[in-house]
A and B are shown apart, each in its own frame.
Chain A
Amino acid sequence: MANPFASRAGIVGVGVAIGITATLLQYFGNPPNMGICVACMERDIAGALGLHRAAVVQYLRPEIIGFVIGAFLAALLAKEYRPRGGSAPLVRFFLGVFAMIGALVFLGCPWRALLRLAGGDWNAVTGLAGLATGIGVGVLFLKSGYSLGRAYSQKPATGYLLPVLMAGLFLLLVFRVSFAEGGPLFFSQKGPGSQFAPIWMSLGAGLIVGAIAQRSRFCTMGAIRDVILLRDFHLMSGVAGLLVAAFAMNLILGQFKPGFAGQPIAHTDHLWNFLGMALAGLAFALAGGCPGRQLFLSGEGDLDAGIFALGMIVGAGVSHNFAMASSPAGAAAFGPAGILVGFIFCLAVGFTMRERA
């Protein structure tokens, strides 16, 4: 039985749909050039839960919740729901932590890098160059036999954990539960965390994107990796669809503002934009998927991808608590140190985790 979303037209269509959805979410209230940003939105969730106390980035983003549950439902319907795990979970957790530290030095995941570019933020160019460089290093490891080992089938109910957790977060959001005076939960009064599209629109968009991305295997890291490793442009055509659609929508909606300086939730520290995304790209490549893809995989029962996603959320807490996350003013005091430690960790993983030749 053919899967229409796995065709060339299918992946392009999904990329276009994501580009349109993201820019519309911005139009209806999400932060600028951040219609969908998996790293930023997981960071906001970490903030809402009190894992960090950066007051401007705290919100339980329904898009993330929708991604996991949408992918879960799509996988169930397609009979692809298959709980599996056990491929070096703790290593994947820390890959998630350092991926987030890198992404928050740049200020965005690969999806947001594309959306920033489509919105005229030219700082995204150095970020994307860094991303490709980091993935290129990951490809060298893959070529020399890098592997985190096999995953094995797990009991059917284990795969419900992350979708149920996400449903729980959604209930917390709807009822705005306050666990103590002054929070948690925390919701930003100003800054990006206070900018959001209507809850049901965000959730609906998340569910749809989660479902079609699960069917099409859309992955930004995979797109760049497959071009470098295999000269395969299948996933890249989806990424191109996202970029072109978001650019066209930004023109239509008046959201295209070209330049380097003064871009929303961005800085012009080119070196750290490059190195932040290089670290993130390497971590994504070693873990086998971009942050979005990890959420879709966790929806279809990949417990190791779920661990990576939780690592990213914890990493957001670490990143903000220890002054590693950048601000529009530029890289933070300990951002460079975080990047350095992250590279040491990722290179150690790359060199030590391999199958016999």
Chain B
Amino acid sequence: MSAKRVDARGLSCPQPVVLTSKAIEAGAESLEVLVDNEVSKENVLRLARRHKMQTSVRAEGPDIVIEIKK
């Protein structure tokens, strides 16, 4: 099953976190969050940690992909 993808590139704080949070609350078991800066990455990772979900980070061109799994 392909993971749900949240494109939060170019969005200012806190929208990447709000979108990720909504996706998690909607019951997504695994999702990929696409961001384009370090601050958004840190914030999304902090959210995932609070939900006790597993994360991994990889680069995709100039962007950052954060994989989040239950």
Q: Interface residues, chain A, CB within 8 Å of chain B?
A: 3, 6, 78, 80, 82, 84, 87, 142-143, 147-148, 150-153, 217, 222, 225-226, 229-230, 232, 234, 288-289, 304
Decide: A229 near B37, CB < 8 A? Known: A150-B9, A234-B46. no
21 A–B pairs (Cβ distance < 8 Å), ordered by A: A6-B42, A78-B38, A80-B38, A82-B36, A87-B12, A142-B18, A143-B18, A147-B15, A148-B12, A150-B11, A217-B39, A217-B42, A222-B13, A222-B14, A226-B14, A230-B17, A230-B21, A234-B46, A288-B12, A288-B13, A304-B12
| 8 A Cβ contacts from B20-70 to A | 21, 36-39, 42, 46-47, 50, 62
Q: How far is the CA of A125 from the CA of B36 in the complex (A)?
A: 38
Q: Which residues of A contact B21 (CB under 8 A)?
A: 230
Q: Which residues of B contact A148 (CB under 8 A)?
A: 12
Q: Which residues of A contact B9 (CB under 8 A)?
A: 150
Best-buried of A80, A150, A229, A234 by chain B (most CB within 10 Å): A150
Q: A6-B42, A87-B10, A87-B12 are in contact. List 20 more A-B contacts (CB 8 A).
A: A78-B38, A84-B10, A147-B11, A147-B15, A148-B12, A150-B11, A151-B10, A151-B11, A153-B62, A217-B39, A217-B42, A225-B14, A230-B14, A230-B21, A230-B47, A232-B46, A232-B50, A234-B46, A288-B12, A288-B13
**How close is B40's CB to chain A, nearest CB, in angstroms?**
10
Is the interface on chain B under 10, 10 to 19, 20 to 34, or 35 or more residues?
10 to 19
Q: Which residues of B contact A142 (CB under 8 A)?
A: 14-15, 18
**How close is A157's CB to chain B, nearest CB, in angstroms?**
18
**How close is A308's CB to chain B, nearest CB, in angstroms?**
11
Q: Interface residues, chain B, CB within 8 Å of chain A?
A: 9-15, 17-18, 21, 36-39, 42, 46-47, 50, 62
A229 near B18 with CB under 8 A, answer yes
Decide: A80 near B14, CB < 8 A? Known: A230-B21, A232-B46, A232-B50. no
A3 near B42 with CB under 8 A, answer yes
Q: How far is the CA of A225 from the CA of B38 in the complex (A)?
A: 20
**How close is A228's CB to chain B, nearest CB, in angstroms?**
11
Decide: A82 near B37, CB < 8 A? Known: A3-B42, A87-B10, A232-B50. yes
B10 near A150 with CB under 8 A, answer yes
A80 near B37 with CB under 8 A, answer yes
B38 near A3 with CB under 8 A, answer yes
B14 near A229 with CB under 8 A, answer yes
Q: Which residues of B contact A229 (CB under 8 A)?
A: 14, 18
Q: How far is the CA of A152 from the CA of B10 in the complex (A)?
A: 6
Q: How far is the CA of A3 from the CA of B39 in the complex (A)?
A: 10
Closest to B12 in A: A288
Closest to B15 in A: A147
**How close is B31's CB to chain A, nearest CB, in angstroms?**
17
**How close is B23's CB to chain A, nearest CB, in angstroms?**
14
Closest to A288 in B: B12
